[in-house]
Structure 1
């Protein structure tokens, strides 16, 4: 599918490891995480067979620390700091790694990011332009945070965007996979574009005559 790329958002082991950090921060488990990992793995296999470029985001801490964080996030972290277990450098590094079941291949690209949007302060946009990409399939974690921020940023840059609704999730079951579209993009201009990922691979770009 010429002109299409797959963005795999923040599929990192911090979501799977039982180290007490998420509990201490008051973050519930990711809803249907095992299912989402399996769906992402199948999506990755299909995309590679179709020769669709795969680009992973990897969420990292900023060298500037709390100076680069949203003040609300800083307050939340500070209010729970005493509850967060102290992790070794090796444990912290492990939390940042890509989940093994959806690990990148040598042909895939990994870009680090420090903000919610994959486009913010990264080289994603020039990479996509260099590859002549017009359409993005977006999958990964979390629906209402980094996935949504990336979808919004992509639309602002005039990419056609399709959300793989069976390959995204977030904290708990209360927010459905297609929440970004229901809130922002169910309009005459955008339509409603979340689909199962195998449908997205067969769908032509809206720009195709």
Structure 2
């Protein structure tokens, strides 16, 4: 139901699954395997996979920490959008990439749940996209020492509040990976 005219397509967004970002992530291996399965299903259905890669002082471009994890490999021709803010739309070419692909609906996976995933979800909804979070395909690290809730609580809370996100003409939602059917034109969990 996106408010973006002429943008009927869906894309799978893979956010910041980079070595340093997920080195200590909660359920790292399970999440990477789930994302890998979604990537293969998207490719089979000819749904674009768009990779997001963060750069900052701790993730220097070209460094081992900055590299995408070895378990996930972009296919030739898949877009890789480099960013330096939490919202993947901010000061990047993500909007142009999605426009060129006719995408108005995003299926979102990645890390960190409480930073770049949340920021990108909100950024997408604010810009006219429908944005569905895959509830078992995002993760974060344990930041309880800094006052944050436990990683499982962060993930659970994010899934709970994103399942009810709405804006005029746009919907958020949460879906489990086993329910994602890229052959459907509408992948929202509430459809």
Q: TM-score, normalised by structure 2?
A: 0.78
Unpaired stretches in structure 1, ≥5 consecutive residues: 18-28, 66-76, 78-88
Judged with a 3 Å threshold, the aligned counterparts in structure 2 of structure 1 residues 93 and 188 are, in CA distance, closer, same or farther, namely closer
- SS at the partner of 1:193? strand
Whether 2:99 is the aligned partner of 1:129: answer yes
Cα RMSD (Å): 2.8
Match of 1:160 in 2: 130
Match of 2:27 in 1: 32
Judged with a 3 Å threshold, the aligned counterparts in structure 2 of structure 1 residues 8 and 193 are, in CA distance, closer, same or farther, namely same
Q: Which has the higher helix share?
A: 1
1:116-164: CA deviations, max 9, x gaps? 0100000101211121111100001011110000000000011111111
Unpaired stretches in structure 2, ≥5 consecutive residues: 1-7, 143-150
- Provide runs of 4+ in structure 1 moved above 4 Å: 187-192
**How many corresponding residue pairs?**
170
Among 41, 48, 65, the residue aligned to 1:46: 41
1:78-93 alignment, distance < 5 Å: 93=63
- SS at the partner of 2:86? coil
1:12-48: CA deviations, max 9, x gaps? 011455xxxxxxxxxxx31101110111111111111
Q: Could you tell me how far 1:206 is from its partner in structure 2?
A: 7.3
Higher Rg: 1
Judged with a 3 Å threshold, the aligned counterparts in structure 2 of structure 1 residues 106 and 152 are, in CA distance, closer, same or farther, namely same
Q: Could you tell me how far 1:198 is from its partner in structure 2?
A: 3.2
